[in-house]
Amino acid sequence: MNLVPMAEILNDAHKKGYAVGGFNINNLEFLQGIVWAAEELNSPLILQASEGAIRYMGMDYVAGMVDAAVKNTSIPVALHLDHGSSFEKVMQCIRNGFSSVMIDASKLTFAENIELTKKVVEAAHSVGVSIEAELGTIGGTEDDHKVEGKDAMYTDPEQAKEFVDATGVDALAVAIGTAHGVYKGEPELDFERLDTIKKLIDMPVVLHGASGISAADLKKGVELGVNKVNVNTDFQQVFTAKIKELFADDSDLYDPRKYCGPGRDAIKEKVKEKIMILGSSDRA
Ligand code: G3H
Ligand code: ZN
């Protein structure tokens, strides 16, 4: 199967009330663990790469590895740029076959965010590529994307409505209390705000920074209309924990296949757990 536009996946999720994982790839083992889990549970999948991950792997490797992964699969898969920082970066991904992009202009003013997002929507839609944007600012750190706690700002529901009407995006990432990376305290989500936003915009909503959010809160978010749930840190943590455990048992370990393989299995199990929580199994 070829890559599908993310909107195709998310519109079904929005219509039927479930969410699909926007799962970040960092290397080959992440890609395989994630794809194999989704295949086993017959779930649609959004593979996403941040600009930092693209720099780490190289654009040709990202495009080539994902192509190899989807060639023989029957589940719908989208390849999405996570937190695209500029029009140029977005275009580079579109030229390299991504079926979806995020333009993250959330640090700009409301008017500037609309202006840049609209420009990306026109370009992306003209070639059948989907687009996600962000309104409000999600705290924490993910690669190059850093927002200090004091600068994090929740999404205003009325502005969200104005924003989606003005831009025509396919999905909107909202700030309701999640943050990227490892949480210092217990995250508290503003479900009332989420509910109000979803009712006003009536389209796919994205939750970033979902690592470390309890299964109960994720389920509640999905019930209230979240359709894409972004996870990266949880997979990085299980991969690394497994490798540390293996080295603690055998410090003479030297064959990477003997620790990266089990790390990949750990990612696969974590992905399966997330898919079950989000309700996307058997939706492919
Ligand atoms: O855009 C990616 C996600 O928001 C990942 O956040 O690393 O906290 O799971 P996370
Ligand atoms: Zn994010």
Residue type for position 78: A
| Assigned token pair, 276 | 């079950």
Ligand 2 center to 233 CA (angstroms): 10
130-135 and 205-207: which strand pairing?
unpaired
CA-to-CA distance for 144 and 141, rounded, in angstroms?
7
Distance 55 CA to ligand 1 centre (A): 17
Residue 183 pLDDT > 70: yes
Q: What pLDDT, in 10s, does the model give residues 224-239? A: 999 999 999 999 999 9
User: Is 82 among the residues known to form the active site?
Assistant: yes
CB-hemisphere CA count at 13 Å for 19? Answer: 29
Instruction: Quote the CA–CA distance of 248 and 164 in Å, as a whole number.
Output: 50
Half-sphere exposure of 203 (CA within 13 A, CB side): 18
Q: What is the pLDDT of residue 140?
A: 81
Q: What mean pLDDT comes out for the span 105-129?
A: 97
**Which of 82, 189, 232 best tests ligand 1's pocket when mutated (most atoms within 8 Å of CB)?**
232
Mean pLDDT of the chain: 96
Beta strand extents in the chain (DSSP E only): 20-24, 45-50, 77-84, 100-103, 130-135, 139-142, 145-147, 171-174, 179-180, 205-207, 226-231
Options 3.20.20.70, 1.25.40.10, 1.20.210.10, 2.102.10.10; CATH of 6-278: 3.20.20.70
Contact residues for 64 (Cβ-Cβ < 8 A; gap 6+): none
**CB of residue 43 inside a 6 A radius of ligand 1:** no
pLDDT digits (tens, 9 = 90+) for 42-52: 999 999 999 99
Domain boundaries in the chain?
Answer: 6-278
128: which DSSP letter? T
> Is residue 279's pLDDT more than 90?
yes
pLDDT(141) > 90: no
What is the model's pLDDT at position 34? Answer: 98
Q: Which of 12, 60, 82, 250 is catalytic?
A: 82
For 59, 94, 97, 99, 261, the CA distances from 127, given in Å and listed in that order, are 20, 9, 10, 9, 38
